Each structure stands twice: as C-alpha cells, then as structure tokens.
Amino acid sequence: MIRSRGISEKVVYAYNPLPAGTDDAFLRAAGYEDLALNATEPAFMFTWRYGTGLQLESVDLAPGDFLPLRESEAREFLNSTNTAELGLCVVEKADASDPKTRKAAVDALRKAERFYSDAGRKQLIALKKRHNYNDSDMVDLRYTYRAYYRNIAREQAIKALIDQYKTPAPAKGRAA
C-alpha cells in the first residue's frame, strides 16, 4: 500500500502526558525510600526508534512533550511498539489544555495505569502466592523485586495525575 506523504497529510502530534519526575521521586512518594538509587533521568522518557538500517532514527519524547508527525507516521508510532499501553497518545493540537487533548491524555494515562498495575502490584501478588511468602518475607525481598515496586510507584504517580485532570479548573470570577 502506498502511503500519502507531504502536503496531502494532516499534521498531528505524538504526546507524552505522563508525569514528570524521576523514579526516585516516585519511589519516595510511594513510601519506598529504601529502593531509591539516585536516578537523574525522567522516569517516563520515551525513545521512539523508527526506520531500518542506515535510515534508523530515534526521537526522545519527555513528559509534556509534543512531537509533530504526519498521519502515516502517527499510525506507525502507535503500531510500532506498545506506545499506547505505556501512556502515549496522538492528538490533533499541541495544547495540553485543549479539551480533546485532555480527553486523549486521560485515556492514555488510564492505559498506562493498568499497564503499571499489571507489571507491579499483580506481579508481587503472584510471587507471594507462588512462593508462599508472608508479609515479612516480602519486606526482606523488597530490593530483589525492586522493579515491581518501581512500577507500583509509577502507577501511583499516574493515578495522582489522572486525579488532577479530573479536577475541574477553577471558575474565572469577576473582580468586585
């Protein structure tokens, strides 16, 4: 199938609505200070690699960033990896306060929340059942299963951001 290119394609934006911050900040907020490792890179930095061979390129998409793409590139962006599952989306306007962009962001954040829940809390429950660990065993093995706790912390950060999106903006009142 031949893709349309250039002028005939609409420009859309890949958007990373995930919360800004490092894994250490999220771990501390979730109560797992002992698992922090002095991370400096944003926890939700996403690198999209596209093309093949000598044409391979990559783009970093930090939290809050918009990346202009043609529609065909946007389809490729969504289909090439698990971008939608990780909380990224494609929007028509590069404006985080636009209602359609906010709706797409909340939908993407809900998918990310589900992904990190499955990769965190549910994995720990399965390990606890499989190995018959009690709560003190889980505390002792917390560093061994650090990745699962990191995912729990990320899930909580995403939940907090979803709650912020749900909170209506304060009404603009008239000065007396």
Sign of CA dihedral 65, 31, 166, 164: negative
Determine the 3-state secondary structure of 173 from DSSP: coil
Please give the backbone phi and psi of residue 109, each rounded to the nearest 5 degrees, phi first: -65, -35
Spatial CB neighbours of 74, under 8 Å, sequence gap ≥ 6: 12, 14, 90
The domain locations on the chain are 9-166
Residues of the chain by 3-state class (helix, strand, coil), percent to 5: 50, 15, 40
- Over residues 34-62, the pLDDT tens digits come to 888 888 889 999 999 887 788 888 899 99
Q: Are 57 and 49 in contact (CB under 8 A)?
A: yes
What is the reported pLDDT for 172?
56
Please give the backbone phi and psi of residue 32, each rounded to the nearest 5 degrees, phi first: -115, 50
Per the prediction, the chain carries an average pLDDT of 87
Determine the 3-state secondary structure of 7 from DSSP: helix
Query: Is pLDDT above 60 for 175?
Result: no
Distance CA 157, CA 172 (A): 28
Q: What global pTM score does this model have?
A: 0.84
* Highest mean pLDDT (candidates 7-11, 31-35, 104-108, 144-148): 104-108
- Over residues 136-153, the pLDDT tens digits come to 888 888 888 888 999 999
Q: What count of other Cβ atoms lies within 10 Å of the Cβ of residue 128?
A: 16
Distance CA 176, CA 163 (A): 32
Q: Are 152 and 35 in contact (CB under 8 A)?
A: no
